[in-house]
Amino acid sequence: MPGRTKLASIHFAGTAWFILCVGYIGILALLQAGVKWWVLFSLSGYGALITLVLISLYLFAIFRGISSSQKVKVEHPLTNTKQYTFFYVTTPFLGALAGCLGMIGVEAFSRFLLGITLGTLGTTFLVWVIIDPVIGLLEMLLPASRKHHTKRMAQAKAEKEGKQRDNQRLLTEIAAMEESDQYQWQEQLKLQAEQLAELLAAEGFDFEQAERRAIGIGAGAWHIGGLSCMRELRDMAIEICTEKYNNRDIVDYISFWWDGIGSWRSPSLG
């Protein structure tokens, strides 16, 4: 029995043969309706594009259906076997063979070819569209299949809920760590926050000197806790400055002084 790679190749060839038969029937019907050859050639470009899209979509279903991960052997004891899969993928060729046998004795080549084409289309439609779904449904009605399906769905639900709980626990731990870090930074950087507040509130200060002092403080905060620590220190400094000088307008020079320290970027003036 061929492996799954060979089965996929056979299925591809069978699908190509099936599409070819569909195209032959379509062209034959148009010719019998009186459509001229030049009209068929003008439609061939659009027809090829549509056919390519249909084949691409169908091939996705082919390889997805052949993949063993899509079917559970316990739930599909028949359709999951290699023998059934081989029968499924060779259906177009079996239909062509049936049509060929049915046309034995026919002398006209066009009728013989038409019989092969109709045999391919009829057999493929019967197996792929009717028989295969019915067998799959009957398989799922078996007691063992239903029991295993119910158990598998329950396990999948439990795993999903477990992952959700793990994610929620992880988010809670991260939030607790951030809160702990924030508390430690408030205690550790209180003096630096007061120094920054004095720089913001000072009148007539040397801007370059204040910037150098602020950069040193910001670089220290970056080494302690990165961008989050710098934001916490900036907020502490502005809060202290606002509390001490409630009636004054405070300009946030810190955001511009710290531009380029680590991943800190000053706000856009636009």
pTM for the model stands at: 0.51
pLDDT at residue 5 in the model: 80
SS3 letters across the chain = CCCHHHHHHHHHHHHHHHHHHHHHHHHHHHHHCCCCHHHHHHHHHHHHHHHHHHHHHHHHHHHHHHCHHHCCCCCCCCCCCHHHHHHHHCHHHHHHHHHHHHCCCCCCHHHHHHHHHHHHHHHHHHHHHHHHHHHHHHHHHCHHHHHHHHHHHHHHHHHHHHHHHHHHHHHHHHHHHHHHHHHHHHHHCHHHHHHHHHHHHCCCCCHHHHHHHHHHHHHHHHHHHHHHHHHHHHHHHHHHHHHHCCCCCCCCCHHHHCCCCCCCCCCCCC
Mean pLDDT, 10 residues at a time, the chain of 270 residues: 77 84 76 60 50 54 49 79 88 92 83 88 88 88 86 88 89 78 78 86 74 89 86 88 73 86 73
